Amino acid sequence: MVRRTGSGGEPDIINTAVDCTAEYLIQIGILRGDLNLTLRVEQPPPDDDAPLAAAERRLARSLLLRWRAEADAWDMTDPEPLPVRWTPSRRVASAGEHLPAGSGTDTIAGTFLALRPRRRLVVLGTAGSGKTVLSVLLTLELLARRLTQGEDDVPVPLMLSLESWDARRQPLAEWLADRLRRDHPGLPPVDGVHPARRLVLERRVLPVLDGLDELPEHRRAEVLDALDAGLGGEGDAVLVSRTAEYARLDREGKGLRHATVIESLPLRPGEVAEYLRKARPRARAAAWAPLLSTLRDEPAAPAAWALTSPLMVWLTRRSYEKGPAGPGDLVDRERLPTRDAVEAHLLDRIVPAAFPPVPPDPARLHPPRAWDAERAHAWLAYLALLLNRRGESELAWWRLHSAPLPRLLALPALLTAGILLSFAVRAGVSGSSDTAMPDEFLSTTVVGIGILAAAVARTVTASWFGQRPAEPRRSANPLLFVRALRSLDRHARVGPLARLAVLSGGPVLVVLLLVLYTVLREPELVSLSIGGVLPVLLMIVYAAPADTVDAATPDELLRGERSALVTTLTLVAPLIGVGTSAFLWLGGGGGGWAAAAGSWAGASAMLVLLSPWSRWVLAKCSLAAAGRVPWSLMAFLRDARTAGLLQLSGGTYRFRNRRLQEHLAGRRAREQGTAASGPLPLPLPRLSDARDFTVERTADRYRLRGRSRRLPLAHWAVIGAVLGTFVIRMSVTGQWHKPVAWLSLAFWPVVGVLITVVGFLMPRRPLELELTRDGVTSLFGRRRRSYAWRHIEEITVRRAVVRGRDARFHALQVRLLADAPRPPRRSRMGGGWYFVLSTGPAPGVDPGLASALADFAGPRWTPPSGSR
């Protein structure tokens, strides 16, 4: 402020504000004369990170609300966080090399933030031990520190499941950005675009990755390699897995680099008692007193041992929170004398706890539907019993048709659908016939030609891909022919020369046949090129089997199968119809739209009625009508996974752990009065006369010898396909009312029975397994296989894979060292494993054989999970 005297004798007051941060300027006093006020406003330097920081805060708030709802649904923080503890893992060599001192008493978030120089944490634990609880509590605490405590250096945790990451096609950063865009589309844009890419590249989000153990075995190392590459030298991450699966990868040198590995510990009975005391309703304090007293005073009691698992604590709280029964039943030593008995008693209540009658919080990530708990329990028990009888643990929707009821109804349903279609075809042909040919010819011969042409295309495709007609097919865009063509190498089971000859020579053959027609004028050439060769080529390209193991979700497989079915109906079937119509028209028989439509209808009926989708529809509808599964089965399975009862394994579901599956199956079997388990493992598989085997055991040799009677069953797959084709042809063409058609249909089952009987009556084949200090040798028929221990890295019982497909039985297999000589091609089982001898449909192995393998193979022998 400057004061000076003007010409009129009155003072002039001039105020100049430079670099002022004030919003108001107040002048106090009596002014006479002019008031000159000059403000020099300079814009502050632009903050380029402000929009990104706003998006980051919005993301953190959204995630905090979501995971609070998820934690509340599982009672993780009510009335206080579950007292889950952890320690450096003893099963991983580098577990505690970066663990800061005093972390055992710190919170999980404090432990993570104190890691130096990299924040990479691996959380391990067994099923139900609390590793998922630890990861959720870590996510919640990091978000709370970021939003409420103003710690700006804390990254925003983004908890994802690894099953949705295709590491072969997407780098880590691209996958994280894609998930941010899909899961959080409402984030404020930065520079006009979604901020996902900048958030990931500037490392403002922390990937918290669960489900490594849910991935197929051959993908786990691949995903960890891609994770290491994506994190680089500075990236942070949290990885959650079961202990056994990660420890095996770590022993092979494939663990997460520069990571601190911790393992969840069992809960302390005293801490559990305090947690339940605060969580129980005050009005029911007397009912809870016996259990709380036992937890405090008798830590060795069966109930106290059982409640060292967070899963069992949650079940106890949910089951007895509202009565009328009290948790005092858990300490009844007469009814529940062991820990297993207490856990079984609580597992009986897991389904009602997972599907409560109250509606879920809408803020949850994927809120489950309000399913009836009693019916949900019956559905899950039936599925568990179905898996146990097969000796399997993976629930695949495309295998559901092999259940007893769908198999019983398959032939009647196929016949009924064909008869209904025959009326529709006859009505369509008679209403659009524009030729001189009779309707009887169009509805039998023309439709039959379409059915047989589609059957040929389907058979060639099945042979091309190793006879996998029952498995779902991948989704292929008809407009992206080159991409679909490139993907055939991953699925084809024919040699590279055969692939080159068919895929390059097929189009040439089509053109050559059309050129020959211009010279020879034979209509068969046009029909063969357009309605024969070309549909087969398109069927191979667009109907390839999907990667059922590598698939992200079962729903994606189902969508891919529906897409493949639509593609075949709009590409393959019309070409068959055009080829048939061209043959009749060029031959002077008329042809026209009616012939094309009739042939298309026959080809479509063949392609639809024998497709994996139709088998799935039959299985779902028949089982749902019988009350075995819900009508919305896929939605129910998704909700059961969200509720924690199921987990993903590639493109299939499996129960949370094997014990839960066996518990549910056992209860269902007791209700039905049947056996819960599948076939017991024999010393060797598929033996009709196990008493003919002899075992010789000495200090230096174990030999099992016998003879096996043949029981040929493989031909039934071919006969079943032929029988299905004949049923469709007989019914759709309208010949179902003729006795001759039924006689021709009965011919094929008779042939199958004769082949089976003749094979069974043939002389028995020798079978032998010998273990020595030098190696293992097997003999089955005329095929002998021998492996030296010095060449073997591991020997165990695994699922057999023949020519890239699941053979539906287990076998003793070896994995050889890198410098070991390679056995013949027919012994390969995939993934570096080689066949020794089959052990039966169940994953277990005879105890005597298991003992001998442990003795002779030493540390190379890994017992299967199903061993007794």
Does an H or E element contain 617, and which?
Answer: helix 612-625
**pLDDT tens digits, 17-41:** 555 555 555 666 665 656 565 555 5
Residue 436 scores a pLDDT above 70: no
- Give burial (CB, 10 Å; 0-12/13-18/19+) of 563: middle
The radius of gyration of the chain from alpha carbons, rounded to an integer in Å, stands at 35
- Interval 269-284 mean pLDDT: 84
Residue 583 scores a pLDDT above 90: no
The dihedral built from the CA positions of residue 212, 214, 220 and 226, taken in this order, carries a sign that is negative
For 206, residues 6+ apart whose C-beta sits below 8 A from its C-beta are: 119, 142, 155, 156, 157, 158, 236, 237, 238
Confidence of residue 679 (pLDDT cuts 50, 70, 90): very low
- Taking a C-beta distance cutoff of 8 angstroms, is the pair 140, 188 a contact? no
331-340, 357-366, 504-513, 652-661: least confidently modelled range: 357-366
pLDDT of residue 245: 86
Residue 118 scores a pLDDT above 80: yes
DSSP character at residue 395: B
- Taking a C-beta distance cutoff of 8 angstroms, is the pair 427, 614 a contact? no
For 512, residues 6+ apart whose C-beta sits below 8 A from its C-beta are: none
pLDDT of residue 35: 57
Does an H or E element contain 614, and which?
Answer: helix 612-625
* Longest distance between any two alpha carbons in the chain, whole Å: 136
Domain boundaries, the chain: 2-40, 55-265, 269-347, 414-619, 702-707+765-862, 709-761
Residue 108 scores a pLDDT above 50: yes
Domains 55-265 and 702-707+765-862 share a fold: no
Q: What predicted TM-score, i.e. pTM, was given to this entire model?
A: 0.70
- Taking a C-beta distance cutoff of 8 angstroms, is the pair 681, 839 a contact? yes
Q: Is the peptide bond before 356 cis (omega within 30 degrees of 0)?
A: no
For 6, residues 6+ apart whose C-beta sits below 8 A from its C-beta are: 12, 33, 34
Structure tokens at 850: 């298991």
- Give burial (CB, 10 Å; 0-12/13-18/19+) of 357: exposed
Q: What are phi and psi of 516, to 5 degrees?
A: -65, -30
Confidence of residue 147 (pLDDT cuts 50, 70, 90): confident
- Interval 329-346 mean pLDDT: 87
Q: Is the peptide bond before 117 cis (omega within 30 degrees of 0)?
A: yes
Q: Which amino acid is at 784?
A: R
Which CATH architecture is the domain 55-265 placed in? Answer: 3-Layer(aba) Sandwich (3.40)
216-220, 332-336, 428-432, 678-682: least confidently modelled range: 678-682
Residue 243 scores a pLDDT above 70: yes
Q: Which amino acid is at 85?
A: R
pLDDT of residue 239: 92
**pLDDT tens digits, 291-325:** 889 999 888 888 888 888 888 888 888 778 776 77
> 551-561: buried (b, 16+ CB within 10 Å) or exposed (e) per residue?
bbbbebbbebb
284-288, 291-295, 374-378, 551-555: least confidently modelled range: 551-555
Q: Which amino acid is at 121?
A: L
Own/partner long-range contacts of 735-738 (Cβ < 8 Å, ≥24 apart): 735/444, 736/415, 736/418, 736/419, 736/422
- Taking phi over 0 as left and psi of -120 to 50 as alpha, with beta for the rest, 656 belongs to alpha
Interhelix angle 715-732/404-432, rounded to 10 degrees, is: 30
> What CA–CA distance (Å, rounded) separates 62 from 657?
32
> What CA–CA distance (Å, rounded) separates 606 from 594?
18
**pLDDT tens digits, 348-395:** 888 887 787 766 666 655 566 678 888 999 999 999 998 888 767 788
Residue 261 pairs with which residues in a beta bridge?
A: 122
Structure tokens at 444: 């039998």
Q: pLDDT > 90: what percent of the chain?
A: 9
pLDDT of residue 45: 47
Q: What is the CATH number of domain 702-707+765-862?
A: 2.30.29
**pLDDT tens digits, 192-240:** 788 888 898 888 899 999 888 877 776 788 889 999 999 988 889 999 9
CA dihedral (638, 640, 642, 647) in degrees, to 10, reads: -80
267-271, 641-645, 786-790: least confidently modelled range: 641-645
Of 117 and 625, the structure prediction assigns the larger pLDDT to 625
pLDDT of residue 157: 92
Residue 749 scores a pLDDT above 90: no
Range from 587-596, 799-808, 829-838 that averages highest in pLDDT: 829-838
Range from 181-185, 295-299, 501-505 that averages highest in pLDDT: 295-299
Q: Which amino acid is at 768?
A: E
Structure tokens at 719: 């006969």
Name the residue with tokens 């599948």: 678
**pLDDT tens digits, 790-816:** 999 888 888 777 665 566 677 889 988
